[in-house]
Amino acid sequence: MRLRIHVPKCYLQTPVISQLISAYGLVVNITKAMLQPNTDAEGCFDIELRATLPQICSGLAYLESLNHRIVGKSNADGNSWFC
Protein backbone atom coordinates (compact mmCIF):
# COMPACT_ATOMS: atom_id res chain seq x y z
CA MET A 1 0.00 0.00 0.00
CA ARG A 2 1.37 3.44 -0.93
CA LEU A 3 0.36 6.47 1.09
CA ARG A 4 1.20 10.06 1.80
CA ILE A 5 1.03 10.89 5.51
CA HIS A 6 0.69 14.58 6.41
CA VAL A 7 2.21 15.21 9.83
CA PRO A 8 0.96 18.19 11.87
CA LYS A 9 3.71 20.46 13.17
CA CYS A 10 3.15 19.34 16.78
CA TYR A 11 4.18 15.77 15.81
CA LEU A 12 7.30 16.55 13.78
CA GLN A 13 9.56 15.42 16.64
CA THR A 14 7.48 12.30 17.41
CA PRO A 15 8.78 8.92 16.10
CA VAL A 16 5.56 8.10 14.24
CA ILE A 17 7.15 5.82 11.62
CA SER A 18 9.09 3.96 14.31
CA GLN A 19 5.83 3.36 16.18
CA LEU A 20 4.22 1.88 13.05
CA ILE A 21 7.08 -0.61 12.85
CA SER A 22 7.47 -1.54 16.52
CA ALA A 23 3.87 -1.43 17.77
CA TYR A 24 1.99 -2.56 14.68
CA GLY A 25 4.52 -4.79 12.92
CA LEU A 26 4.40 -2.87 9.64
CA VAL A 27 7.21 -2.95 7.12
CA VAL A 28 7.66 0.69 6.12
CA ASN A 29 9.61 1.95 3.14
CA ILE A 30 9.94 5.75 3.13
CA THR A 31 10.13 6.88 -0.49
CA LYS A 32 10.08 10.62 0.23
CA ALA A 33 10.12 12.80 3.33
CA MET A 34 9.42 16.51 3.51
CA LEU A 35 10.07 17.65 7.07
CA GLN A 36 11.27 20.99 8.32
CA PRO A 37 11.26 21.08 12.13
CA ASN A 38 11.85 24.85 12.45
CA THR A 39 8.84 25.96 10.43
CA ASP A 40 5.13 26.52 10.93
CA ALA A 41 4.31 24.09 8.12
CA GLU A 42 3.28 20.48 8.43
CA GLY A 43 5.54 17.74 7.14
CA CYS A 44 4.75 14.69 5.09
CA PHE A 45 6.04 11.24 4.22
CA ASP A 46 5.44 9.19 1.10
CA ILE A 47 5.57 5.60 2.30
CA GLU A 48 4.95 2.04 1.21
CA LEU A 49 3.43 -0.28 3.81
CA ARG A 50 3.59 -4.07 3.88
CA ALA A 51 1.82 -6.22 6.46
CA THR A 52 -1.40 -8.12 6.99
CA LEU A 53 -4.63 -6.22 6.47
CA PRO A 54 -5.42 -6.11 10.23
CA GLN A 55 -1.93 -4.75 10.97
CA ILE A 56 -2.30 -2.04 8.32
CA CYS A 57 -5.76 -1.12 9.59
CA SER A 58 -4.44 -0.81 13.15
CA GLY A 59 -1.50 1.32 12.02
CA LEU A 60 -3.75 3.63 10.02
CA ALA A 61 -6.13 3.95 12.98
CA TYR A 62 -3.13 5.00 15.11
CA LEU A 63 -2.19 7.70 12.59
CA GLU A 64 -5.78 8.92 12.40
CA SER A 65 -5.92 9.10 16.21
CA LEU A 66 -3.03 11.60 16.00
CA ASN A 67 -4.95 13.69 13.42
CA HIS A 68 -2.54 12.81 10.61
CA ARG A 69 -4.12 13.25 7.18
CA ILE A 70 -3.67 10.11 5.09
CA VAL A 71 -3.90 10.13 1.31
CA GLY A 72 -3.80 6.88 -0.66
CA LYS A 73 -2.49 6.23 -4.12
CA SER A 74 -5.32 6.44 -6.63
CA ASN A 75 -3.93 3.94 -9.14
CA ALA A 76 -1.44 1.28 -8.13
CA ASP A 77 -0.20 1.08 -11.73
CA GLY A 78 0.02 4.84 -12.28
CA ASN A 79 2.24 7.63 -11.02
CA SER A 80 -0.19 9.76 -9.03
CA TRP A 81 -0.03 9.65 -5.22
CA PHE A 82 -3.34 11.38 -4.70
CA CYS A 83 -6.94 10.18 -4.83
How many C-beta atoms lie closer than 10 Å to residue 51's C-beta? 18
Provide the residue ranges of all domains of the chain, joining segments of one domain with +. 2-72
pLDDT digits (tens, 9 = 90+) for 23-71: 999 999 999 988 776 667 888 889 999 999 999 999 999 999 999 999 9
How far is Cα 83 from Cα 32, in angstroms, rounded to an integer?
Answer: 18
Architecture of domain 2-72: 2-Layer Sandwich (3.30)
Summarize pLDDT for 5-28 with one digit per residue, the tens: 998 888 888 888 999 999 999 999
Residue 53, Cβ density class (10 Å: 0-12 exposed, 13-18 middle, ≥19 buried): exposed
